[in-house]
Structure 1
Amino acid sequence: MSLSFSGRVALVTGGGAGIGRATALAFAHEGLKVVVSDVDAAGGEGTVELIRTAGGEAIFVGCDVTRDAEVKALLDATLAAYGRLGYCFNNAGIEIEKGKLAEGSEAEFDAIMGVNVKGVWLCMKHQIPQLLAQGGGAIVNTASVAGLGAAPKMSIYAASKHAVIGLTKSAAIEYAKKKIRVNAVCPAVIDTAMFRRAYEADPKKGEFAAAMHPVGRIGTVEEIATAVLYLCSDGAAFTTGHALAVDGGATAI
């Protein structure tokens, strides 16, 4: 089955690297115009340059998703450039804690919840009215397998991703009859710069991460991008309110 898209514009937050960059490139490969957003201007502009070099069309709009005014400005810039919005991949997120629950700080809690939860909420808050005005569209939020179960020494992060799934399911039901589909993608350990920074000092940790997945390896950013595009595509027209685990079998254990 080939992917097909009835909308022609995709918005990707956290598009400056990793899963966001791979997904922006995948959207562009399918012929969509892409709005790449990130707090990292160099990374975001780099993604746009990769898209343009490959013959695609894209713009970069800087945005801190924890700030309402900046999220609204992101939507305004998208409409100013392309006139409409078809697909939203709310991917911006952080992961900074490394200790047990009682060892966490209020600053860590506020930072993680601010980006991972408030950021997704603000993005949908501004995206949904535009999708309603157009007669529909699709949203995919980045959750995690940590949002489907426990994540020892990452309790705040796990809570934030459980919240993303809650926001996703609730919005999906609220707007199901308005032709707006809302789903989440739940990656396990993926080969990103964040992963390499975490494990490059201790190769044994990398081996442990691979062993967590029954398939015997960690995932790639392209595999997550493929899942996101499927959830956005017309082929997933009967899929909404779903949290799709892309995890090498990790949650099946």
Structure 2
Amino acid sequence: MSRFEGQVAVITGGALGIGGATARKLASEGAKVFIADIDDAAAAANVERIVQAGGTAAASHVDVSISEDIARMVNEAVDLYGRLDILVQNAFGVMAGESQIHGTALTVEEDNWDYGIDVLLKALYLGPKHAIPHMRANGSGNIINLASVHSFLQEPGMLVYEAAKAGVVGMTRQMANDFGPDGIRVNAIAPGHIVGEGLAKMWEENPSGHKFFADQYPLRRTGVPDDIANGIAFLCSDDASFITGHTLFIDGGLTVQLQEKFGTRQAEYIRANPDTRLP
């Protein structure tokens, strides 16, 4: 398949996990891929993996909490490949101690609020700000923003993450309205629990906890990065040419459950599996 032959895709956080899988998926279907990430070694390894498979890819060190890095990212990709067609905004650059952005309105420090919003929300405004002029020159383009099931269902003590991810959905809808006349489609993905390289190591040490997590999903499994990459590829393809402003849930059915019955079933699971070690 060559759905993206001749197109150029920039993927933030494209070294590992969802971003890594998306870079490989788009490259496998003909796109020239530009990986933006703070993990230089992992980004280089993913570029090599793509090239070895016959694709085209390059990488650059980009911290999406720094606005100048985002502008440079777009310029480098266009300078290298001559155009820009797809922007996948996936990065979540974690500062030392991700838990610093967790907490309530009473416990989150203002500097940590600013950092979390910069990475999770402001970066998703700055990417299109620099990318859309190039997409306009093409007469078309696709922007995919990574939202979350947390955009719609709130977890206690996660003020910054929940506020930002809810904002991603609103911003996606707004940009779809603003730039639809230019032939630019803007959509979002709301993943459930996706087990990438990092989480895989954690769950290997706690298989009973992973099984408990999987049991929370109607499909009785957690997701993998390819599940999200496939959805992103669909939304960027001509198969989705009349879809914009949409948030696609790829969550194994997590968000369609009635919470009263869900809680009861979880209690029954623990009763039937008393050796479960919770995460």
Q: Which residue of 2 aligns with 1:58?
A: 57
The one-letter code sitting in structure 2 at the alignment partner of 1:213 is Y
In percent, how many aligned pairs have the same letter?
37
Deviation track 1:82-129 (CA, whole Å, cap 9, x = no partner) reads 100111111111573386524433343223212111111111111111
Moved more, 100-109 or 46-55: 100-109
Deviation track 1:154-200 (CA, whole Å, cap 9, x = no partner) reads 23211111111111111001111110000001100001134346555
Q: Which portions of structure 1, spanning 4 or more consecutive aligned residues, are displaced by more than 4 angstroms?
A: 197-204
Q: What is the DSSP-based 3-state SS (H/G/I as helix, E as strand, rest coil) of the residue aligned with 1:97?
A: helix
Q: Is 1:178 paired with 2:182?
A: yes
The offset of 1:71, in angstroms, is: 1.1
The offset of 1:208, in angstroms, is: 3.0
- Would you say the 8 A contact 2:4–2:26 is kept in 1? no
Among 93, 96, 99, the alignment partner of 1:97 is 99
Q: Which residue of 1 aligns with 2:243?
A: 239
Task: Give unpaired runs (5+ residues) of structure 2.
Answer: 258-279
Q: Is 1:4 paired with 2:6?
A: no
For 1:158 and 1:7, how far apart are their aligned partners in 2? 37
For 2:45 and 2:183, how far apart are their aligned partners in 1? 34
Task: Give unpaired runs (5+ residues) of structure 1.
Answer: none
Q: Is 1:87 paired with 2:89?
A: no
Q: What is the DSSP-based 3-state SS (H/G/I as helix, E as strand, rest coil) of the residue aligned with 1:181?
A: strand
The offset of 1:44, in angstroms, is: 1.1
> Aligned pair in 2 of structure 1 residues 199, 151: CA closer, same or farther (>3 Å)?
farther
The offset of 1:205, in angstroms, is: 3.5
- Would you say the 8 A contact 1:189–1:195 is kept in 2? no
The structure whose RCO (Cα within 8 Å, separation 6+) is larger is 1
The offset of 1:212, in angstroms, is: 2.2
The offset of 1:138, in angstroms, is: 0.5
Among 118, 142, 149, the alignment partner of 2:146 is 142
Q: Is 1:223 paired with 2:222?
A: no
Q: Which residue of 2 aligns with 1:39?
A: 38
> Aligned pair in 2 of structure 1 residues 180, 37: CA closer, same or farther (>3 Å)?
same
Mapping of residues 22-33 of structure 1, within 5 Å: 22-33=21-32
The one-letter code sitting in structure 1 at the alignment partner of 2:245 is G
- Would you say the 8 A contact 1:148–1:162 is kept in 2? yes
For 2:207 and 2:115, how far apart are their aligned partners in 1? 29
- Would you say the 8 A contact 1:15–1:44 is kept in 2? yes
TM-score by length of 2: 0.84
Q: Which residue of 2 aligns with 1:17?
A: 16
Aligned CA RMSD, in angstroms, stands at: 2.0
> Aligned pair in 2 of structure 1 residues 31, 183: CA closer, same or farther (>3 Å)?
same
- Would you say the 8 A contact 1:94–1:112 is kept in 2? no
Among 105, 110, 113, the alignment partner of 1:106 is 110
TM-score by length of 1: 0.92
- Would you say the 8 A contact 2:6–2:30 is kept in 1? no
The offset of 1:51, in angstroms, is: 0.5
For 2:109 and 2:193, how far apart are their aligned partners in 1? 24
For 1:159 and 1:208, how far apart are their aligned partners in 2? 27
Moved more, 108-117 or 159-168: 108-117
Moved more, 61-70 or 197-206: 197-206
- Would you say the 8 A contact 1:26–1:226 is kept in 2? yes
The offset of 1:7, in angstroms, is: 5.3
- Would you say the 8 A contact 1:100–1:154 is kept in 2? yes
